[in-house]
A and B are shown apart, each in its own frame.
Chain A
Amino acid sequence: MLILTCPYCGVKAEETELSPGGEAHLKRIGPDGTAADFEAYLFARKNIKGVHFERWRHAYGCGKWFLAARDTHTMQVYGTYKAQTAHATDEIVANARQARPEWVPDWPQASEAVVG
């Protein structure tokens, strides 16, 4: 039984209380995007076996959308965070890396951003 903590209302919700919304952080393609970009946005999915970021809605609770980091192979939950976030929090990244040292986030890290 999958249990996620809603970052808005703090309720520990089991999966029948939630509805899934698929892969998180998809970038919407604007008017100047190509057909290939739009196809990728609509259909191509990472379908990660490992650390997966995904959208959930606390459907039978507060009703809000939030994001979760979950391991699709071990079912370990690394954490949940609010939907209005560009990427997962440092704490979630640390949790994921503890379980999977070989995993690296696919967005620029704070330290790299400072250097760059």
Chain B
Amino acid sequence: MPSRRYSVFAIAREALRQHRGWTRAWTSPEPRDRYKVVIVGAGGHGLATAYYLGKNHGITDVAVIEKGWLGGGNTGRNTTIIRSNYLQDPSAAIYDKALKLYETLSQDLNYNVMFSPRGLIMLAQTEHEVRGYRRTVHANALQGVATEWIEPARVKDLVPIINIDGPRYPVLGGLYQARGGTARHDAVAWGYARACSDMGMHVIQNCEVTGVETAGGQVRAVNTAKGRIGCDKLALVVAGHSSQLAEMAGFRLPIESVPLQAMVSEPVKPCMDVVVMANTVHGYMSQSDKGEMVIGGGTDSHNAFTQRGSWHHVEETVRALVETFPMISRLKMLRQWGGIVDMTGDRSPILSATPVGGVFVNCGWGTGGFKAIPGSGWAMAELVAQGRPGPLAAAFGLNRFREGRFIDESVAAGVAH
């Protein structure tokens, strides 16, 4: 049964009857024997893929299966930053598509994802970064992505709590994207899940995939904790565990999984209304609507699946941010956590067909997948529905590694996202 539309009238109506009329936002069905498309991974990317399969391509015989709970992986662990100031053209195209979809996502989904285009500054704290970001501004101008280079005085004006004088990490300027910002990460997953459920798709939680069944080089089914589920097409959208799923299907990916850390402080009064990223020092910070300072840190250098990360990265991040933002030195940190990110060699994602017929992968978003969710889902739905990539996904195929057509975003995406 489609859920009721959320609106100011719905709130008024429910207020008059003690809020007893709210129903569950999505259903939790038992899986059927077979679906046309099975998507593994009910994070933002998987759910967005399902949503655009239904909305843009009319395919609603879809199951999204998830080993844990909805949005409990990297979708619920990131620092919610949204931007599209990338260097290479294919990246700018897909990330800017995502940003444009984010701008109207609450209306599209009838679910408030709390998109907040508060502006985003990437600080340049070395001469090398100054040159790199100026180059990105020029590239963005050619791509039609509005960004600008701003001088230290403007940075100080936008972020009064910042210390631009160093001495260790002086602020030499910044790459500013006024349209960048944040959104509520859980709401993005929940909104997509509700919309998918309304279209009759099945979102199945606590259902780990244990094997992929193929015959004659073609996918037949997935074996799961809730039994065998047949499918014509299979989309693997599982971030950190992409290599494990690929192994079940019988191929390898150019992916290595590492923990990326983040932490959040106690809530304080509003003090910073832009997102600030400092890539030299592996730290980025924004203030949540609750007042917490949300701080993103670095990735571990070695493969791991621990969802916590190495301690010295916390020290590294905080040490540098305390010099740049002296007022945070007295803040207590409430929580620290890690997410397992899937890194490719060129720091760009993979949206591709695979050696197994009917199996498609969407992975390799590394440290910065949240911002891409709507664009990624849009491009992946096109790939799965048509069996070949559309314009957004074309450059992100697996064959780019063999052919040497890397989309090198290690400058834009090496650490912080």
Contact = CB atoms under 8 A, between A and B. Distances in A.
A60 to B, nearest CB: 13
A46 B247 CA distance: 9
A47 interface: yes
**Max count, chain B CB within 10 A of own CB: residue among A16, A35, A49:** A49
Contact of B312 (A16, A36, A45): A16
Contacts of B255: 45, 47
A43 B312 contact: no
Contact of A36 (B244, B305, B345, B402): B402
Interface stretch (B94-102, B109-117, B226-234, B296-304): B296-304
B311 interface: yes
Interface in A48-62: 48-49, 52, 54
Contacts of B305: 49, 72-73
A19 B301 contact: yes
A72 B304 contact: yes
Contacts of A70: 302
Nearest to A40: B252
Interface in B59-87: none
B254 interface: yes
A42 interface: yes
A105 interface: no
B28 to A, nearest CB: 27
Given A45-B252, A47-B257, A54 B303 contact: yes
B243 A46 contact: yes
Contacts of B256: 22, 45, 47
A15 B312 contact: yes
B377 to A, nearest CB: 24
Interface residues of A, number: 25
Contact of A39 (B244, B257, B304, B401): B401
A33 B321 CA distance: 49
A35 B253 contact: no
A26 B217 CA distance: 27
Contacts of B253: 44-45, 47
A70 B241 CA distance: 18
B301 A20 contact: yes
Interface in A1-59: 1-2, 15-16, 19-20, 22, 35-36, 39-40, 42-49, 52, 54
B310 interface: yes
B326 to A, nearest CB: 25
Given A20-B302, A35-B402, A49 B345 contact: no
B303 A47 contact: yes
A36 B398 CA distance: 12
Interface of A: 1-2, 15-16, 19-20, 22, 35-36, 39-40, 42-49, 52, 54, 70, 72-73, 75
Interface of B: 241, 243-244, 252-257, 301-306, 310-312, 345, 401-402
Given A47-B255, A47-B257, A72-B304, 19 more contacts: A1-B311, A1-B312, A15-B301, A16-B312, A19-B301, A20-B302, A35-B402, A39-B401, A43-B254, A45-B253, A45-B255, A47-B253, A47-B256, A48-B243, A49-B257, A54-B302, A70-B302, A72-B257, A72-B303
